[in-house]
Amino acid sequence: MGLVEGKIAIITGATSGIGARAAELFVEEGATVYFTGRRREEGDALAGRIGRNATFVRADATSEADWEKLVVDVMARHGRIDALFNNAGGPAPTGGIAGIPVEGFDAAMALLVRSVMLGMKHVSPHMVARKQGSIVNNASIASHLAGYSSSMIYSAAKAAVRHLTRCVGMELGEHNVRVNSVSPGAIATGIFGKALGLDERRADAKAKEMEQAFARAQPIPRAGLPEDIAQCALWLCSDRSSFVNATDIVVDGGVIGGRAFSPHQESLRQMKAALEAS
């Protein structure tokens, strides 16, 4: 029996990367999944690969009308929504604060924060009515510390997601509805190429190359993979995490755990050698 056997789940931003792997994994573990994205070709192809328990819905996660339609349709078919993984995201404007374009800031906040708010707004009443459900929001290690994103705006948006998660978790937890977030570290996906200006398809195709680039970014000697985040989201949506609420789980191989051990030891050796020589 799978971890989410029989559950009805919605996953946003799932035409590639973390969302795509989450859609696959949730179905493998027994869920019926409705996954969204703006790219119909990629969405239809993924649904075809996963099989009949996965349905692609072309939707814009920043649009309240799209959220309303999605939730109404899922409720009409199943009468319940057990899990929501708010995963939709993308890059934000880079550079110093004096050069941030207002329209880029607004678009990033809509994609990274408003989409999460809208998902919780429209799904939570149905979960509260049944006194059960789990919501998982995708945050980032960039929400914990400065300098872990190409964009300070992305970092600020993800910090908002993490705190909004906690606030809503404290509200909905009273109704046995859990709300948590997961903070990925250096995960090899297309988002990095997109942040540097590549078009979506080309950036997604370069994700494999990022694995080598990220292999030494953390103590665990490999890059983070979409699988790592999908597994965490799966567990948070399962009944095995039924006492976990209003918290953030960092999945980063230890990258923000502190100063890297080996370089630190080498710097101490060099310091000792310099002191002995003086």
For 228, half-sphere exposure in the C-beta direction (CA atoms, 13 angstrom radius) is 18
Per-residue pLDDT 10s for the chain (278 aa) are 899 999 999 999 999 999 999 999 999 999 999 999 999 999 999 999 999 999 999 999 999 999 999 999 999 999 999 999 999 999 999 999 999 999 999 999 999 999 999 999 999 999 999 999 999 999 999 999 999 999 999 999 999 999 999 999 999 999 999 999 999 999 987 666 666 566 667 766 666 777 888 888 999 999 999 999 999 999 999 999 999 999 999 999 999 999 999 999 999 999 999 999 98
Rounded to the nearest 10 degrees, the angle between the axes of helix 152-172 and helix 102-109 is 30
Token pair, residue 191, equals 């988002």
Break the chain into its structural domains and give their ranges. 8-277
Structure tokens that stand for 262 in this block: 């080996």
CB of 23 closer than 8 Å to CB of 14: yes
Using CA atoms in the order 71, 87, 28, 214, what is the torsion angle rounded to 10 degrees?
170
Contact, 219 vs 253, CB < 8 A?
yes
Query: Distance between CA atoms of 221 and 193, rounded to whole angstroms?
Result: 22
Catalytic residue of the set 56, 85, 148, 154? 154
| Region 8-277: CATH code | 3.40.50.720
Give the three-state DSSP class for 260.
coil
Q: Coil, strand or helix: which one is 74?
A: helix
> Are 229 and 236 in contact, with CB atoms under 8 Å apart?
no
Residue among 84, 164, 87, 76 at smallest CA distance from 124: 84
Tell me the pLDDT tens digit for each residue of 149-167: 999 999 999 999 999 999 9
The residue length of the chain stands at 278
Using a 10 angstrom Cβ sphere, with 0-12 exposed, 13-18 middle and 19 or more buried, the burial of residue 219 is middle
pTM of the model: 0.93
pLDDT, tens digit, for every residue of 212-247? 888 889 999 999 999 999 999 999 999 999 999 999
Provide the percentage of residues in the chain whose pLDDT is more than 70: 94
154 a catalytic residue:
yes
